[in-house]
Structure 1
Amino acid sequence: MDSGLRVLLSTVLCLSQSLLISCSSQYPSFRSEPASLVQSQGSVARLLCSVSPPSAVVSWRFGGRPLDRDTLPGVEFHDGSLTISSLQSGHVGIYQCVARLAHGPAIVSRHARVAIAEISEYENGRRRSLSVQEGSSVLIECPLPHSVPPALPRLRVRGERIEVSTDDYLVLPSGNLQILSVSDRHQGMYRCGAFNPVTGETVMQPHGTKLSVKHSVSPPPVRIVYPTAPRTVLVQQSQPLTLECVVSGSPAPAAKWLKNGKEVTPGPSQQQHNNLVFVAVARSDEGSYTCAAETKQGTVIGANYTVNVLEPASITEGPTNQIVSPGSSARFTCLATGNPSPNITWLFNADPITPSGRFQISGSSLVITDVTLQDGGVFQCILDNGIGSAQSCGILTTQTGMCLSS
């Protein structure tokens, strides 16, 4: 047989054997990964984890360390899942599910954050008084207190509870209350309130705001009542957003919105009573916004917002499976998106990789030089940016030198 043909056949045989090794070797994978949760203190919390093949052994990590009943009291394990019988402050943190096969290969899940629902009280401030000219617009500021998850507005308007907007009152997601055209019937006491949707707890402002209406022959001047100073807004991708703009005057002029100096046209956002409303924010909605109104003298006045959109970490291109010979090099790449930029952690068979002479980490890449047979296994990247977490892995197969002989 011709020597060139023998080399070709040997190469084909070598690749076939390598592919056979890669395909026939079992590696663990996740059918479902644990998800972050927020629950009431004392409730039962469950983190679900399903892996394949069935022979894979499931364990858990808490804060990056192995977890068992001794290290964290109050946890139970059943069919791969984790149950916290009574959620307490000591259980708050980051959990991960680990799937490992008897012969070594292992993977770890993305981060699952466990938090306790809570809501803070309003500050014990003084009662406020607000005197507004009849026919003008007014905003009663009711910033929501700290809450996990975010609170929903619950207001008391002249003794009556209001949760959603009415013909007279516009209840905004921030908690603020807007009255479009004030009249005598709006006089009275207004109290801010907030509701935690998980605990079911409602907190009310200790005092409130007393609104009185004054009458004048001359109409109120056109001015922007809210916001009175530039504001920066952080909003998570796909969440709703309302940029508030309250313009006084009788009648109050219609405002127009500008984004980065150009007028906003109807599309992803819609104007509602001079407010700019987004149903689901996208990264492309980031930018500088101005609410502009014109006075009777023709002067343009404005209020400014800067919108920053937070995006959960995600992987656009994960590591790919590789087959290499001992002594050669291998490179794994993990391309990511997210705002803020995610941190990347590399692991080998579920154990964090410490950069060394042979293991070099640079940006989104991991390079293994002088590969040995012991390097065969699962290389994995885990992303986290505080908004979300993701993971992806690639298998490194080392081919033996026996199949290289001709």
Structure 2
Amino acid sequence: MTGIFLPFDLHVAIRWVGPARSWLPCSAGAEPRRPPPPLDDARARLKPYFWRLDGEEVNPKRVSLNGTLEVSRKRDGGGDGVYQCAVRHHAGVVLGNPVHLKFAYMDKQFSKHPENTTIHRGQPVALSCNISSGPPASITWLKNGEELLRNSRYHILDTQLLIMDARSEDSGTYSCIATNQPANRSRVSPSGRLNVLDTVEDRPAGLLEVYHESQILTPRGSLVVLPCPVVGWPRPKLIWHLTPPGERSSELETTDEILILRNLELDQEGLYTCAVEDQRDLMKTFNVTLTTPVNITHPPTSKEVQRASTVRFNCTATGKPEPVITWYKDGQPLVLAGRINLRTSADGSQIQLVISGVTSDDAGKYHFFFPL
């Protein structure tokens, strides 16, 4: 029995392509050390290259002589999925790098766009702009038909423009432009008028509803924006607390309604809570977690074993969040049951794929990857 670890990309990242057609070259993850001899007569009728989509073999007519696959979007929107090529040679099959292909798209209509809004001076306001798009469209904001000039009171939050402490000069007509480069499409939203009254008005305290992620996974060195805008007059005071992992909560010195974490480090990781002073029912939380790349500490190696014996393939990796390992045999998901299971080594340092009572059916190429 021979087991071969194929060192292709560990993460099957999404590749966005144009809305109609694409071509995928076959990039093998492990090439033979020398050119393989010709296939025997019984196999010569088979093309050396073939492709699978989500585990199912695709029509060989779409595969060129050099292994390139022509992929077209179907009328029903199908065609997306994980593609993987393979190369036949005298020793078996070499698997290529998997590709998660998606066809780019963008709707014709905006699901949210700026609407006519009137507020009093000194209050925050959020204008929305959202359109269904894959990959997510990049958003450009316009004021009175011109690209919006940024300042310290303007914050772009994914699908919203947040204006803090509104002033009379913020009055105007707002719209947005959504652009999807892979789809080669760009759309301009309907516009809405923002009127800022140059007066103040007594108003109870509250939290302005804005888009935010409560679970934030980000690598070290990132910039993280935690929005917690407060409405009300007189202006309420905001209190921030940080609870590091496994430690007690402590109050932060800042009272800013937009907390910006720059060049994120381990000492900034934890649960952030913002709350209106003396009204702790008005609160919002953000769980900021630093991620670390996957590192393979014990990769599998090729093995030859006797029939009816037991074989072990090591596959241990570290990372944050903890990696989820998926095993494959000859390009097909491996069913873990009965004789084939995952076990932890005696010293607890390694995770192993264990195959007991090896038979000839177990021979093949075993590999793994970490899905995103």
Out of 45, 63, 67, the residue aligned to residue 58 of structure 2 is 67
Partner-residue secondary structure (3-state), 2:52: strand
Report what 1:368 is aligned to: 355
Counterparts of 1:35-74 in structure 2, within 5 Å, are: 36-50=14-28, 51-53=30-32, 55=35, 57-70=48-61
Distance 1:42 1:64 in 2: 23
Out of 98, 102, 111, the residue aligned to residue 90 of structure 2 is 102
Counterparts of 1:102-141 in structure 2, within 5 Å, are: 102-104=90-92, 106-109=93-96, 111-120=98-107, 121-123=109-111, 127-132=115-120, 134=121, 136-141=122-127
Q: Which AA in structure 2 matches 1:67?
A: V
Contact 1:236 1:281 in 2 (8 A): no
Partner-residue secondary structure (3-state), 2:241: strand
Matched, 1:275 2:258: yes
Distance 2:187 2:58 in 1: 37
State the 1:194 CA deviation. Answer: 2.8
Report what 1:259 is aligned to: 242
Contact 1:182 1:213 in 2 (8 A): no
Report what 1:304 is aligned to: 284
Report what 1:9 is aligned to: none
Distance 2:331 2:21 in 1: 31
Distance 1:360 1:32 in 2: 24
Report what 1:11 is aligned to: none
Distance 1:281 1:150 in 2: 25
Deviations 1:199-251 (A, max 9, x none): 343334435243231414x8x6694543479x643555447542212245789
Distance 2:5 2:50 in 1: 13
Contact 2:242 2:270 in 1 (8 A): yes
Distance 2:320 2:146 in 1: 43
Distance 1:64 1:214 in 2: 63
Distance 2:18 2:177 in 1: 20
User: Which shows bigger deviation, 152-161 or 121-130?
Assistant: 121-130
Out of 304, 320, 335, the residue aligned to residue 316 of structure 2 is 335
Structure 1 runs not aligned, ≥5 long:
1-20, 266-270, 389-406
Which has the larger helix fraction?
Answer: 1
State the 1:111 CA deviation. Answer: 3.6
Matched, 1:345 2:327: yes
Structure 2 runs not aligned, ≥5 long:
37-47, 244-248, 345-350
Distance verdict in 2 for CA 1:123–1:38, change over 3 Å: same
Distance 1:280 1:109 in 2: 37
Instruction: Give the RMSD, CA atoms, in angstroms.
Output: 4.4
Contact 1:63 1:94 in 2 (8 A): yes
State the 1:369 CA deviation. Answer: 1.7
Contact 1:55 1:101 in 2 (8 A): no
Tell me the TM-score normalised to structure 1 length: 0.65
Report what 1:233 is aligned to: 214
Number of residue-to-residue matches in the alignment: 340
Distance 1:35 1:236 in 2: 17
Distance verdict in 2 for CA 1:357–1:152, change over 3 Å: closer
Which of the two has higher C-alpha Rg?
A: 1
Partner-residue secondary structure (3-state), 1:154: strand
Distance 1:87 1:371 in 2: 42
Contact 1:237 1:311 in 2 (8 A): yes
Partner-residue secondary structure (3-state), 2:181: coil
Q: Which AA in structure 2 matches 1:262?
A: S
State the 1:95 CA deviation. Answer: 0.5
Distance 1:145 1:345 in 2: 37
Q: Which AA in structure 2 matches 1:160?
A: E
Contact 2:131 2:178 in 1 (8 A): yes
Distance verdict in 2 for CA 1:182–1:338, change over 3 Å: closer
% identity of equivalent residues: 19
Distance 2:64 2:252 in 1: 53
Distance 2:97 2:290 in 1: 19
Distance 2:266 2:65 in 1: 40
Tell me the TM-score normalised to structure 2 length: 0.70
Matched, 1:206 2:187: no
Distance verdict in 2 for CA 1:203–1:323, change over 3 Å: same
Partner-residue secondary structure (3-state), 2:100: strand
Report what 1:187 is aligned to: 171
State the 1:324 CA deviation. Answer: 3.9
Partner-residue secondary structure (3-state), 1:90: coil
Report what 1:318 is aligned to: 299
